[in-house]
Structure 1
Amino acid sequence: MYIRRVSRKNKNGTTTAYLQLAHNEWDPGSKYAKAKVIYSFGREDEVDRSVLERLVQSISRYLTPEAALQAQNAIGDTAEFLFQSSKRLGGSWMLHQLWKKLGMDAILEKLFSDRNHQSSIERLIFSMVANRALNPSSKLAMEDWVKHDVYLPGITEVHSQQLYRAMDELLEVQSELEHQVYCSVSDLLNLEVDLLYFDTTSSYFEVDPFDAPEDDEFRKAGFSKDKRPDLIQVVIGLAVTREGIPIRSWVWPGNTSDMSVVDEVKKDLVGWRLGRVISVMDRGFSSEDNLRTLQRTGGHYIVGEKMHSGKETTEEAMSRKGRYHHVRDNLQVKDIIVGDGEARKRFVLVYNPKEAERDRIRREQHIEKLQGHMEELKQLGKQAHTKAACRLRSHPTYGKYIRQLKDGTLKLDKQAIRDAAKYDGKYLIRTSDDTLSAEDVALGYKQLVDVEDAFRTLKTTLELRPMFHRLEDRIRSHILISWLALLLVRIVEVKTGQTWAALRKELDRIHLGHFSSINGDVCQSTELTADQRKSFAALGLEPPPRFLEIHSKP
């Protein structure tokens, strides 16, 4: 069916055209199709265009948005579009699609199904997670961000008080949420949880410790891994799979030591029935009590051991002779057993030749600078000499290479330099699992860097610090939202092989334009590049359609 234009020539030489609604029918006698007129609109120059517009609009109800828009444009100048505004779309669309694929929306909707709110709590929580991943800001700044800067499916505006209430309610369902999210993510991504990596970090607050309230039992001064001992802080823990996916987070008061949290972490993870789990932890968790805790209920551990700890077993492991076995480039291992029976301990000594060469060069540079400082001492007066000598002896780098003679003279300690060379490019690992090869132990421990990458992303890309919340519940909720954002970000990074910072920059180029005309409004996305389509395909997600919204005016 189509609009047919026919014309005839008048006696005065002019031409008159007529518009007809027609369709072709097969003529068996003539053996070709002939046009059959269904309706005549009359002369072309006298046609009521509003009749054609109504016809197009009625037909458009049964067309795809793209075809409907083309039909509207075919009417002519009455469908002229004005470019009203533009919002960033790519990052929010990818996070929204991944959020749905992981079943996060369904989990939260079920957890909050008995609560009546004007705005969806699930959408408010997603908006905070997306903000943390795309453009970290305060809750007040989010109001303008959601309204003017980014397109978030299912929510067009937020208010800071709504966000704070959603944070409070999120904390009430934290335990169940973490468990359901883990089950959903592990099933969908087929995560391997035989190795779980755990580490802690700290995050500070822009509050002077002396100005903090006396009853603040959560924000405390402690050992700052951010190198900000002048500020109060909290301690954050992460459990990460071998793929680099954070499956759970913890938060403790700022003066909590690493040694004191292992028991709680172990109990929480045992409650999830993960099966056979080997916990991989750094040297800060290698106390005997912690190692016994990790072995409860059939668990095992791979833990870094401090080579300079002074432990008898450690010294014996380091001094044990034997050949290294080449595992791969720049990685050699030596399996060491110390003791018998219940006192038996298994160590793996790892050696990296390239790292050993870097250690040697770095030490030689330090000694060269140290010799320069010691030469300068000879030019100083007595009092100045004494102060400068004390500074050198207490220096964290230079002090270990210095010895003082009876007359107070400082000299290089050549034995200390030789002893330091024995540790170049080496690190010691202890494990309770005899079924793992030395190679698996070494590579498993090496992957602990994934936790460090997660913390780095949490602090830099997601801008966890500094925090400005004062109440303990708000702090916990803030970290929970940051963990959800980190979960999405790390999945994207693992699946695409790109850093989130680089991918976010590329996704920000995908915009949603709002166009309006007398016939209605259209929201159209920019054309996707091949790289952008590749990123969505790597995650198994649908990219944004060309037309997201089309609203016709009656």
Structure 2
Amino acid sequence: MFIRKKPNKSGVISVQVIAKINGKSKLIKTIGSSRDEKTIKELTEKGHHYIATFGGQTALDFSDETNLIQSVFQQIDSHTEVGTELLLGKIFDDVGFNVIDDQIFRQLVLSRLTYPVSKLKTSDYLEKYHDLEYPVQQIYRYMDKLHSTQKELVQQISYEHTKHVLGGQVTIVFYDVTTLYFEIDHEDTLRKTGFSKEGKHQNPQIVLGLLVSRNGYPLAYDIFEGNKFEGHTMLPVLDAFKEKYRLDQLVIIADSGLLSNANIEELQEKGYEFILGARIKNEKKQIQEQILALSLKNGESAVIEKDGLKLIVTYSDSRAKKDSQNREKGLQKLEKRIKTGKLTKSSINNRGYNKYLKMDGEINIEIDYTKYNADAAWDGLKGYISNAFLGKDEIIENYGHLWQIEKAFRISKTDLKIRPIYHRAQRRIEAHICISFVAYKIYKELERQLKSLNSKLSPEKAIEIAKTIYQIKATVKGKSVAQILLINDQQKKLAQLFNFG
């Protein structure tokens, strides 16, 4: 059984106890209804208590160990892992994803957080640890439904919840892309070879564009062909997001990979404010001279007017040290390759530190140390291009939050294991990414709630603890009894923190 919070057209939330019977959801009891968040939380707690005692089930009495061993442990009917449902299921409901009345959706999302594997292995996992039967073909059929009817609803739920936790409005968004490769030999209409951020240039891939808010809460996403230039993905995602939620004002923040004259012109034409990372070394000679003439000290910044835009340049000692170290490492690699004779004419290009190479005559390759030394003048400098009606310091501070989207991709690829993707059909690839999007939203809300509860637990650690919490069910003297096993201090503290057990 589980708790469902069902809103009606007037915004009243009904807290219900639902049971899964013969694969269908059945209403067992309506606990109550309210618009007030505090009252809804109290009703939800009553619902969990009702589930714990429903149908004659009673909590086991652990005070009499001899009786417990004789009357219970020898008559156990089942044991299931319940910690992830008690923890992550609560977060799932808090965000509002429970309005999607498909239990298989819930289980696929929670499994992505706890045991991110193929759909076939997910089916086995749910049966083995949660006593739930979802044959893999049923999962595939649901993914088709998710793609065709629920993908937009999922993003809307995420947006509405994010808007709520941010105080009622979303005006600043962050955009970035990543690539997801497939271990296949042949391309199709979606999976194509292109520039891979993972260094898998020989593998067909897709491009994933993600839009997040401050603090890294996911707002929207889309996927594109693997050979699509990342700069051409931003405006479609932005336009769809702005139109869907009828947003008048939006400030978009993105790194220099999304910087192009075409993008800047289109952003301005459509009334967007933007803060983009600038490629200051690629500016015209006049602008470069102005930048190098600034003589900035640690923590200082300056504004240069450029074609009606603000080019903001900052300097940091720590960045200068890192830039210098990276240049030195690059130079050492080049010197080693020249010394061993492994550097040929085919190596000459303008990528990375190869820009320090030059050809003398037909075959003699050497390092241009003059260019290497001149590059030191740029150490520690970073630029931003913007038309935003914000002060210089506000622009720099807002751009500094861009790391949140890099964290989102890192979590998606490592903890949620968004790849490998085992699907071939585009609709199922999109459904898989949709499930991962929801899982990441749950992760971020868990992170937010842990912080608000002043807990030092990370989301990863909380999930790890939850996965160790089991419930046993037994029949004693004709009565069904159940007990959640909170054995160690970590389990007990987590249960107390989130009010379950």
TM interval, short-chain normalised: 0.7 to 0.9
Q: Does residue 1:512 correspond to 2:471, yes or no? A: yes
1:218 to 179, 186, 190: 190
More deviation in 402-411 or 84-93?
A: 402-411
**Following superposition of structure 1 onto structure 2, how do residues 470-485 of structure 1 map, counting pairs within 5 Å?**
470-485=424-439
Partner of 2:71: 79
Instruction: Give the direction of change, closer, same or farther, for the CA distance of 1:286–1:522 in structure 2 (3 Å limit).
Output: same
Instruction: Show the counterpart of 1:299.
Output: 272
- How far apart are residue 407 of structure 1 and its match? 8.0
Change (3 A) 1:199 1:72: same
Shift of 1:409: 4.5
What RMSD over aligned residues (CA atoms) do the two structures have, in Å?
3.2
From 120, 134, 146, give the equivalent of 2:114: 134
Question: Structure 1, residues 140-192: CA drift from partner, whole Å, max 9, x if none?
Answer: 222221122137xxxx3212222222211222232233223311342256376
Asked whether the 8 Å contact 1:316–1:338 carries over to 2, the reply is no
**Closer, same or farther: CA 404–91 of 1 in aligned 2, 3 Å:** same
Aligned ranges 1:48-63 → 2 under 5 Å: none
Structure 1 Cα separation of the partners of residues 65 and 365 of structure 2:
88
The residue that corresponds to 1:280 in the other structure is 253
Q: Does the CA-based 8 Å contact 1:192-1:241 persist in structure 2?
A: no
Q: Which residue of 1 aligns with 2:42?
A: none
CA distance in 2, matches of 1:283, 1:523: 57
1:433 matched to 2:388? The reply is yes
Bigger radius of gyration, 1 or 2? 1
> Which residue in 2 is equivalent to 1:89?
82
CA displacement, residues 328-370 of structure 1 (integer Å, 9 cap, x when unaligned)? xxxx24122224xxx3220111222112112223323443454
Q: Give the 3-state SS of the residue equivalent to 1:429 in structure 2.
A: strand
Which residue identity does 1:184 align to in structure 2?
H
CA distance in 2, matches of 1:244, 1:533: 30
Shift in alpha-carbon separation, 1:140–1:396, aligned structure 2, 3 A: same
Aligned in 2, Cα 1:72/1:535: closer, same or farther, shift over 3 Å?
closer
Q: 1:408 to 1:496 in 2, by over 3 A?
A: same
Unaligned runs of 5+ in 2: 1-52, 452-456
Please report the TM-score for the alignment, with normalisation by the length of structure 2: 0.78
Number of equivalences: 441
Question: Is 1:259 aligned to 2:231, yes or no?
Answer: yes
Summarize deviations over 1:499-527 as a string: whole Å, max 9, x none.
44333222222222334434334332222
Question: What's the counterpart of residue 19 of structure 1?
Answer: none
2:305 corresponds to which letter in structure 1? V
Query: CA separation in 2, counterparts of 1:514 and 1:536?
Result: 19
- Say if 2:206 and 2:224, in contact at 8 Å, map to a contact too: yes
How many Å separate the matches in 1 of 2:127 and 2:228? 41
Distance 2:197 2:465 in 1: 32
Q: Deviations over 1:254-296 (max 9, x none)?
A: 1221121222122112121344321001112111221233335
Change over 3 Å in CA distance of 1:355–1:147 after alignment to 2: same
User: Which of structures 1 and 2 has the larger relative contact order (alpha carbons within 8 angstroms, sep 6+)?
Assistant: 2
Question: What is the deviation of 1:302?
Answer: 0.6
Matched, 1:195 2:172: yes
**C-alpha separation in 2, matches of 1:461 and 1:356:** 33
Mapping of residues 30-49 of structure 1, within 5 Å: none
CA distance in 2, matches of 1:127, 1:319: 56
Answer with 507-516 or 195-204: which moved more.
507-516
Q: Distance in 2 between matches of 1:275 and 1:372?
A: 56
Distance 1:163 1:311, change over 3 A: farther
Task: Determine the structure 2 residue equivalent to 1:174.
Answer: 151
- After superposition, the C-alpha distances for 1:219-253 in whole angstroms (9 at most, x for unaligned) are 22222122111211111111111111111111112
Query: Is 1:344 the counterpart of 2:308 in the alignment?
Result: yes
Please name the residue that 1:522 is paired with: 481
Give the direction of change, closer, same or farther, for the CA distance of 1:399–1:184 in structure 2 (3 Å limit): closer
* Residues 1:186 and 2:179 are matched in the alignment: no
Contact 2:466 2:491 in 1 (8 A): yes
Cα distance between partner residues in 2 of 1:144 and 1:523: 24
Amino acid at match of 1:242: R
Q: After superposition, what is the alpha-carbon deviation per residue over 1:297-325, rounded to whole angstroms, capped at 9, x for unaligned? A: 5421010112233445753553342545x
Task: Note closer, same or farther for the CA distance 1:275–1:98 as it changes in structure 2 (3 Å cut).
Answer: farther
Question: Which secondary structure does the structure 2 equivalent of 1:238 belong to?
Answer: strand
The alignment partner of 2:238 has SS state of helix
Judged with a 3 Å threshold, the aligned counterparts in structure 2 of structure 1 residues 71 and 173 are, in CA distance, closer, same or farther, namely same
Among candidates 102, 114, 134, match of residue 158 of structure 1: 134
State the match for 2:301 in structure 1. Answer: 334
CA–CA distance in structure 2, aligned partners of residues 475 and 77 of structure 1: 49
Alpha-carbon distance between aligned partners in 1 of 2:195 and 2:203, rounded to the nearest angstrom: 10
Q: Is the 8 A contact 2:91 2:445 kept in 1?
A: no
Match in the other structure for 1:502? 461
Structure 2 residue aligned with 1:400, among 336, 343, 355?
Answer: 355
Note closer, same or farther for the CA distance 1:312–1:525 as it changes in structure 2 (3 Å cut): farther
> C-alpha separation between the residues in 1 aligned to 2:439 and 2:69?
46
Q: Any idea what SS the aligned residue of 2:324 has?
A: helix
What residue number does 2:499 align with? 542
SS of corresponding position for 1:243: helix
Question: How far 1:419 moved relative to its partner?
Answer: 2.2
Q: Distance in 2 between matches of 1:278 and 1:77?
A: 63
Report the Cα distance in structure 2 between the residues aligned to 1:438 and 1:507, rounded to whole angstroms. 45
Q: 2:128 aligns with which of 148, 171, 181?
A: 148
Structure 1's 91 and 419: CA in aligned 2 closer, same or farther, altered over 3 A?
A: farther
Q: How far 1:393 sits from its partner (Å)?
A: 4.6
TM-score, length basis structure 1 = 0.71
Structure 1 portions without partners, runs of 5+: 1-59, 110-121, 327-331, 378-386, 546-554
- The structure-2 alpha-carbon separation of the partners of 1:366 and 1:71, relative to structure 1 and needing over 3 Å to count, comes to closer
Residue in structure 2 matched with residue 414 of structure 1 by the alignment: 369
Deviation at 1:76, TM superposition (A): 9.1
**Correspondent of 1:357 among 321, 337, 357:** 321
* Corresponding residue of 1:458: 412
Identity of aligned residues (%): 23
The structure with the largest helix share of the pair is: 2
Deviation at 1:373, TM superposition (A): 4.7
Question: Are the equivalent residues in 2 in contact too, given 1:79–1:517 (CA < 8 A)?
Answer: yes
